[in-house]
């Protein structure tokens, strides 16, 4: 998606459809957990609510807001790393619009993890693991305005460890006068995500009606 005219660049960057973190994943069956999964989720919930109950705690620990408010009414925060992950150190956390912890993802890059972790690490059914395709996230400011976050497809020039403002401009993804704050290539990953707050639809459901 290369666009050459400044007016079109501005329109593209301000109206492009966001890459939703949750909607990109392949769907997992049976959203309600079984007994062993329920025990695992309860244990994780206790630990994470003690460590990262709010956005303030998460940002102090190095998590960065990666998305706008998503269709499931969450903001996704991430360490933007795909190593040193364990049950109480997920690389993605979900917060509601009030800044309270509601869910998580454990994501392992397929390039370094050909198989997702087994039940000895995460005691869940294999079908809970889904695939998230490669894509990019970036954030910028315009003048004294707030930081704006966006996601987009992983175009061929945006798949490296370093993504520059010039590359995003060439792809029509930065508006005129924008200052790039950060850019991140998200590799194809194995993903295990679930809600940490009660959900009548089940912990593995796409939406939680209580998170509004």
Residue 172, in any domain of the structure: yes
Structure token digits, residue 175: 């508006």
Domain containing 66 equals 6-12+35-195
Residue 160, in any domain of the structure: yes
User: Domain tally for the chain?
Assistant: 1
Q: Are 63 and 48 in contact (CB under 8 A)?
A: no
Residue 27, in any domain of the structure: no
Residue 24, in any domain of the structure: no
pLDDT score, position 28: 54
pLDDT score, position 138: 98
Among candidate residues 106, 101, 103, 102, the one with its CA nearest the CA of residue 123: 106
Q: What is the pTM of this model?
A: 0.86
Residue 155, in any domain of the structure: yes
Residue 112, in any domain of the structure: yes
Averages of pLDDT over each 10 residues, the chain, 212 residues: 25 39 57 96 98 98 96 97 97 98 98 96 96 97 96 95 96 95 98 97 95 94
Residue 95, in any domain of the structure: yes
Residue 26, in any domain of the structure: no
């Amino acid at each position: 998606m290369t666009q050459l005219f400044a007016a079109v660049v501005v329109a593209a960057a301000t109206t492009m459809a966001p890459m939703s973190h949750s909607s990109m994943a392949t769907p997992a069956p049976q959203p309600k957990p079984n007994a062993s999964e329920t025990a695992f989720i309860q244990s994780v919930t206790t630990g994470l609510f003690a460590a990262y109950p709010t956005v303030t705690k998460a940002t102090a620990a190095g998590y960065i807001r990666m998305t706008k408010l998503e269709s499931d009414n969450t903001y996704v925060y991430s360490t933007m790393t795909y190593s040193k992950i364990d049950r109480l150190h997920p690389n993605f956390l979900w917060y509601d619009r009030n800044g309270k912890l509601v869910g998580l993802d454990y994501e392992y890059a397929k390039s370094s993890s050909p198989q997702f972790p087994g039940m000895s690490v995460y005691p869940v059914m294999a079908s809970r693991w889904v695939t998230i395709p490669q894509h990019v996230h970036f954030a910028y400011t315009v003048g004294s305005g707030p930081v704006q976050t966006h996601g987009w497809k992983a175009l061929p020039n945006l798949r490296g460890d370093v993504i520059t403002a010039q590359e995003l401009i060439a792809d029509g993804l930065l508006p005129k006068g924008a200052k790039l704050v950060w850019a991140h290539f998200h590799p194809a990953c194995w993903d295990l995500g679930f809600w940490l707050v009660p959900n009548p639809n089940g912990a593995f459901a796409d939406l939680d009606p209580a998170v509004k």
